[in-house]
Amino acid sequence: MKQYRLEATPVASAKELKDQKTPKAKRKLTARGVKCLVCAPDSTQQQRKRRKNNQIDARTLTSNLFNCLNGNEAALQLVRVPTLEQEQARLASRQHDQLVEERKRLGAKGNALLLSQGFGSWKNWWRPKAFSRLEQLLPAWLFEMLQNWVDLLRALDQKIQAAKAALAKRCSGPRPKGAGANSLVQLQSEVLDWGLYANRRKIACLAGMVPSEWSTGDDQRRGSITKVGVSAIRRIITEMVWRIIQFQPQYPPVQKWQDVLAGSNRTLKKKAVVAIGRQLMVDLWRMQTGRVTAKELNLVMVGA
């Protein structure tokens, strides 16, 4: 390493993403002036030849690195490696989602217990108002079983509220009406850096909201969305679209699908939401990178 530095020779390396140690190793190499590319594992050739060992892997990876550095960007399937600050923000966002999922899981257990004993389904049964009503209706043994989960669920409620407040504090500046502060912060933590994506196709693919395709020649066949990329982004955008439809009916993509959204066909409504979500993701990228303004997109901004 010291020899290369003295000779001012550029050094590049490639590493397959195998575990959580890879991002840390990438940061260390970058700090030493090494251009480090992290890529997804690929054993396509080894599987075809039915031979795989360290020598073959090293030779294949080195060859792909050479091709990538000489202009063939498709030679390596590069992986985004967040900075320490970005990783911490993403972990906080995902921990919020994990707390919500844990609350759903425990709440469903209590609800299943009520259903099994013929007391119907109770939404948020652990909340004080609903639980006081259950105390009057349930036999003592069943109420005692529910109490085992109540303290945990109420503690999760408090943790989730604290996590929401912490996320909201990180949101600054104007935002589109209907796009919540928490949603935008979580979206930013998953995207990492809007400037990483050169065109609209790449940012739409990150959300997995592009159609699958099986085309050849003049024959074009497109199917449902691929759902590749980050599933959390797709969930956040989908939730955001339903609020945009309500609070910003003048938004051009909403106007385009207005007839479908006003109809009764639920399948077509879902397709419309996906189409609006794909365009919303692209428009947010255009706004964040300075390619367009909210006024040009006919979006109402709040929180300025």
pLDDT in tens, 168-181: 999 988 999 999 99
> What was the pLDDT predicted at 11?
61
Q: Tell me what the mean pLDDT of segment 230-234 comes to.
A: 94
**Model confidence at 4: pLDDT above 50:** no
Residue 81 has pLDDT above 70, yes or no: yes
- Regarding predicted confidence, which is higher, 24 or 285? 285
Based on its alpha-carbon atoms, the radius of gyration of the chain, rounded to whole angstroms, reads 25
Q: Which alpha helices (H) appear in the chain, and where do they start and end? A: 2-6, 21-31, 44-49, 54-69, 84-116, 128-137, 140-169, 181-191, 200-206, 231-247, 252-256, 258-262, 266-288
From the centroid of its chain, how far is CA 224? 19
| pLDDT score at 222 | 85
pLDDT at site 281: 96
178-209 in b/e form (b: 16+ CB < 10 A) is: bbbbbbbbbbbbbbbebeebeebeebbbbbbb
Q: Does pLDDT of 241 surpass 90?
A: yes
In the block, tokens 């910003």 appear at 248
Assess whether pLDDT exceeds 80 at residue 34: yes
Tell me what the pLDDT averaged over the chain comes to.
Answer: 89
pTM of the model: 0.84
The pLDDT assigned to 235 comes to: 95
Asked whether the predicted pLDDT for residue 25 surpasses 60, the reply is yes
Residue 291: name the closest of 164, 200, 218 by CA.
200
Which segment of 39-48, 105-114, 290-299 scores lowest on mean pLDDT? 39-48
* 37 and 80 Cβ atoms separated by less than 8 Å: no
Number of H helices, E strands in the chain: 13, 6
